[in-house]
Amino acid sequence: MTIELHNLTKKFGALIAVDAIDLDVSDGEVLCLLGPSGCGKTTTLRMVAGLEVPTGGDVFLGGKKVNALTARDRNVAMSFQFYALYPNLTVAENLAYPLYADRLGKAEIAARVAKITETLQLHAVLERTPDQLAEGEKQRVAVGRSIIRDPTCFLFDEPLSRLDVQLREEMRGEIKEVLQDLSRPTVIVTHDQLEALTMADRIAVMRDGRIEQVDTPHNVFQMPANLFVAGFIGTPQMNLLPAIFTGAEGEGKAGFDIEGGQTMVIQVDPRISEIEPGTRVTLGVRPRNLVMSQEEAEDSISTKIDLVEPMGAETLAHLSDGIHDLRVVTDWRVPITEGEVVHTRFPPGATHVFTADEQALRTT
């Protein structure tokens, strides 16, 4: 059973919410639609579910075109952002609700409810109604109601967004475990990158109705395809430094001028040789990859430490060369003081180069 989206588009009047996207989710795979609010991820999910009618393009479930089918006939399972628990039914009745359509016997229904109760530890709240539940419990019931079935696919709309930070951590792990056992394609919509990075087999980063990149969490993090993905994934945010490429220096190194007169020679992707010297580019380096040093080097620039933020096991330092701001994260044991002048090094392999069209210069 697979999910395939071909050229899928959704317009609300003049607003294009989803712009001709192509996406495939294979059997048993967990795919996360990740992006800022308004990027079209929820609309896409709802089109897969059958709750929104596509303006253009097709949705295929298991190879069959399902555009014309209602949500009910698609036999999908969906967990809503607002849980959508039936207010007058108990938790047990809520869980059992979708099973009636399968015409199972009472014993079978009871057995399945018992199994889900076990999996999600819902023993204590089985007889309660939704208004008597805590957020975390509601969320588990919502998830439970989805996985109690045997549908064509699982869809989750912002499953953890309403939970506080601690609960989220707990639930992330739980859900990941649950998802491992499912053998159907699963699509999760979220705006929280940490969720996506931990739970997904692949992430589709979306912006303004389009997919910016689809890849494994590792690749999306280590090899962002463009400026948007680079800036969106990773906390603290990647440092983005405008620079001018001055020329290749051999051994895979390249020279860059930055505003304010400083220059550096750093090792970047070999494809740098494809662009002309004098071209404006953006250099991207993650805070944890920058190194602060007392000694100057060819791949460093001189910066002053403006602010030091202890974060427990790590320290976040805000540095500036007078024009550009950089963030560097180091181990908490490294001694640094505000006002200190250090040399910030761009070690080999740490820097991504983005050309003017915002695409990454990368050898695939």
Partner 1 sequence: MSNAVSNRGGFGAWLLDPKRRGALLVTPALTILFFMNIFPLLWSFGLSFFNYRATSLKVPIFRGLSNYERVLTDERVWERFQTTAIIVSSSVVMQLIVGFLLALMFAKVFPMRRIVLMLVLTPMMLSFVSVGVFFKLFYEPTFGIVSYALNFVTPEPFVMLGSQQGAIAAIVIADAWMWSPFVMLLVLAGLVSVPKYLYEAAEIDRASAWRRFRTITFPYIKSLLLLAVLFRTIETFKLFDIVYIITEGGPGSSTETIAVYLYRTAFQFFKTSQSSALAYIVLFIVIVLTNLYLYSVNRRAEEVN
Partner 2 sequence: MARRQREIGKAGWGYTLVTAVVGLIYFFPVLWIILTAFKTRTDALAVPPKLFFTPTFDNFVSVFYRASITTGTSQATDMALYFFNSIFIAGTSVIMAMIVGTLAAYAFSRYPLKGNDTYLFIILTTRMMPPIVVIIPIFLMFRLTGLAGSYWGIMLLYTAFNIPFSVWLVKSFFDELNPEIEDAARMDGANERRVFFGMCIPQILAGLAATFVFGMILTWNEFLFALLLTGVETRTVPVAMARTLGGEVGVDYGLLAAIVTLFLIPIFFVTFLLQSQLLRGVTFGTVKK
- Return residues touching partner 1 (CB under 8 A): 49-51, 70-72, 75-78, 80, 82, 84, 86-89, 97-98, 100-101, 145
Alpha-carbon gap, residue 281 to 212, rounded angstroms: 19
Least separation in angstroms between CB 73 and partner 2: 5
- φ, ψ (nearest 5 deg) of residue 84: 50, 45
Closer by beta carbon to partner 1, 95 or else 264: 95
Q: CA-CA distances (angstroms) from residue 364 to 9, 17, 227, 269, 277?
A: 29, 31, 17, 10, 23
Q: How far is CA 157 from the centre of its chain?
A: 13
Closer by beta carbon to partner 2, 68 or else 313: 68
Least separation in angstroms between CB 197 and partner 1: 28
Report what 255 binds from partner 1, partner 2, none; CB cut-off 5-8 Å by kind: none
Closer by beta carbon to partner 2, 71 or else 182: 71
Name the site residues for partner 2 (rule: CB under 8 A). 50-53, 67-73
Report what 68 binds from partner 2, partner 1, none; CB cut-off 5-8 Å by kind: partner 2
Q: How far is CA 167 from the centre of its chain?
A: 19
Closer by beta carbon to partner 2, 71 or else 244: 71
Least separation in angstroms between CB 236 and partner 1: 35
Least separation in angstroms between CB 71 and partner 1: 5
Report what 77 binds from partner 2, partner 1, none; CB cut-off 5-8 Å by kind: partner 1
Least separation in angstroms between CB 141 and partner 1: 12
Report what 89 binds from partner 2, partner 1, none; CB cut-off 5-8 Å by kind: partner 1
Report what 69 binds from partner 1, partner 2, none; CB cut-off 5-8 Å by kind: partner 2
Closer by beta carbon to partner 2, 51 or else 114: 51
Q: Contact 55/9 with Cβ under 8 angstroms?
A: yes
Residue 346: which residues within 8 A CB-CB, separation 6 or more? 264, 266, 283, 285, 290, 299, 300
Strands laid side by side in the 64-65 sheet: 15-25, 3-12, 56-61, 64-65
Least separation in angstroms between CB 129 and partner 1: 11
Question: 270 by DSSP, 3-state: which?
Answer: helix
Closer by beta carbon to partner 1, 49 or else 301: 49
| 219 secondary structure, DSSP code | H
Closer by beta carbon to partner 2, 69 or else 104: 69
Q: What is the 3-state secondary structure (H, E, C) of 106-175?
A: HHHHHHHHHHHHHHHCCHHHCCCCHHHCCHHHHHHHHHHHHHCCCCCCEEEECCCCCCCHHHHHHHHHHH
- φ, ψ (nearest 5 deg) of residue 286: -75, 145
Report what 80 binds from partner 2, partner 1, none; CB cut-off 5-8 Å by kind: partner 1
